[in-house]
Structure 1
Amino acid sequence: MLFDRRLATILPATALAGLLAAAGIALSAPADTLAPPDTFIVITDPAQRSAAYFGELSKVLTHPRCTNCHPATDRPRQGDSARLHQPPVTRGADGFGTASLRCGTCHHGANYEPAGVPGHPQWHLAPAEMAWEGKSAAEICIQIKDPSRNGGRSLADLIAHIGDDTLVGWAWHPGGARVPAPGSQQEAKALVKAWVESGAACPQ
């Protein structure tokens, strides 16, 4: 994509940075923000623009608030440093822990701030086939489009899952000293919707 430097005079700095980073142009975008879909309209190639939407969304999908519960192994991770979960729990057959130590034993219906324990009524690990930890945006994109590796979801289902699911939404309201996922859930929904509607192309 050719970059017209005049864009720097008409786009906000944060939006421009997100555009350039998502388009593969070397410029670091603010890690805690999400550029809106209309930022990418200057990318004239439809496939490149679609891939850029996902590139921006991947700032959420590769964030510890997501990858801690989409781990590469059967052990969840914790905190902004993605340290291994303590106590040393494992996924279990259904993702809710083993029979002797279920996720709900410690993780209740809401965050318990005095002890710094996060909570949600459905607290659990993503299925093993939905592991994102350590993967690139391109790898996650291919994976998330595959119903055998995304929980049997269609592309349309992904819009609702990322944009409306309250467990996913916890990532933006984690409480305590945890760093929330970039942007907001509705901003992420707008990006995944734009990505789906533009052909769901993946970054290279």
Structure 2
Amino acid sequence: MTSGANKAGWAVLALAAMTVPAAIWASGAAESEANLKSAASFSSIANRDARSAAIFTEMGKVLQHPRCVNCHPRTDSPLQGDEGRFHMPPVERGKDGHGVAGMECSTCHGPENVTYANGTGSIPGHPEWHLAPASMAWEGKSLRQICEQLKDRKRNGGKTLDQIVAHNAEDGLVGWGWNPGKGRTPAPGTQAQFGELTRAWVESGAKCPA
């Protein structure tokens, strides 16, 4: 089989694997209507540390949502769907998170979402589509553990707290979580809200929940 045919074959497999049953999509659509609380809504918490931890707990609605967790898996393979199922076709992280030779993420994932011809779902896409670094794997971890990872510059790619704020508020791949294509539940709220919460968390001391 030629390289082009290989890619076409994998794309067909990906389409079949990523089709979302109507019941799951209906449930996801309802969830997508949920909003994040504003950063200002936590101002009534007088204790600064308690307020900071509460803000991060609200951020956890995004961080622990399938749109984030699926790209922060505990293994070297991404997950799919709101239920976090094993990625089909099987793929591996590769040395830089973009897949292995011959099966790079870009084999199936283009620069933008592509809706299936029958309209039942879509293949996700973004110019920078890739897995999060293994050091930032948080599938199955508690919110406190995720919080500690985010603050640890040895694990977060050397980012300062201010850079984490910018990443959450402005990064395009993070923003994909609110524009995931047909057949997927968007992350709650908006990226702007998520960024505001992150800023408020940092400004209140960047405390982690218990």
Do both proteins adopt the same fold according to a TM-score greater than 0.5, normalized to the shorter chain? yes
| Partner deviation per Cα, 1:163-183 (whole Å, 9 max, x = no partner) | 000110000010112000010
Look up the match of 2:175: 169
Look up the match of 1:129: 135
Look up the match of 1:97: 99
Deviation, structure 1 residue 32: 2.4
Q: Does the 8 Å contact 1:31/1:59 carry over to 2?
A: no
- State the alpha-carbon separation in 1 of the partners of residues 63 and 197 from structure 2: 12
Identity of aligned residues (%): 55
- State the alpha-carbon separation in 2 of the partners of residues 37 and 155 from structure 1: 17
What are the ranges of 5 or more consecutive residues in structure 1 without an aligned counterpart? Answer: 1-29
Structure ranking higher on relative contact order (CA contacts 8 Å, 6+ apart): 2
Deviation, structure 1 residue 48: 0.2
- State the alpha-carbon separation in 2 of the partners of residues 195 and 31 from structure 1: 24
| Partner deviation per Cα, 1:100-144 (whole Å, 9 max, x = no partner) | 200001000000112611000010000000001111111100110
Q: Does the 8 Å contact 1:40/1:49 carry over to 2?
A: yes
- State the alpha-carbon separation in 2 of the partners of residues 119 and 33 from structure 1: 24
Query: What amino acid is aligned across from residue 145 of structure 2 in structure 1?
Result: E
Q: Does the 8 Å contact 2:76/2:93 carry over to 1?
A: yes
Deviation, structure 1 residue 31: 8.3
- 1:19-98 paired onto structure 2 within 5 Å: 32-98=34-100
Query: What amino acid is aligned across from residue 202 of structure 1 in structure 2?
Result: C
Q: Does the 8 Å contact 2:153/2:160 carry over to 1?
A: yes
- State the alpha-carbon separation in 1 of the partners of residues 154 and 61 from structure 2: 23
- State the alpha-carbon separation in 2 of the partners of residues 31 and 143 from structure 1: 29
- State the alpha-carbon separation in 2 of the partners of residues 93 and 65 from structure 1: 22
Q: Does the 8 Å contact 1:53/1:194 carry over to 2?
A: yes
TM-score after normalising by structure 1: 0.84
Deviation, structure 1 residue 152: 1.2
TM-score after normalising by structure 2: 0.81
> Where has structure 1 moved over 2 Å in runs of 4 or more?
none
Query: What amino acid is aligned across from residue 209 of structure 2 in structure 1?
Result: P
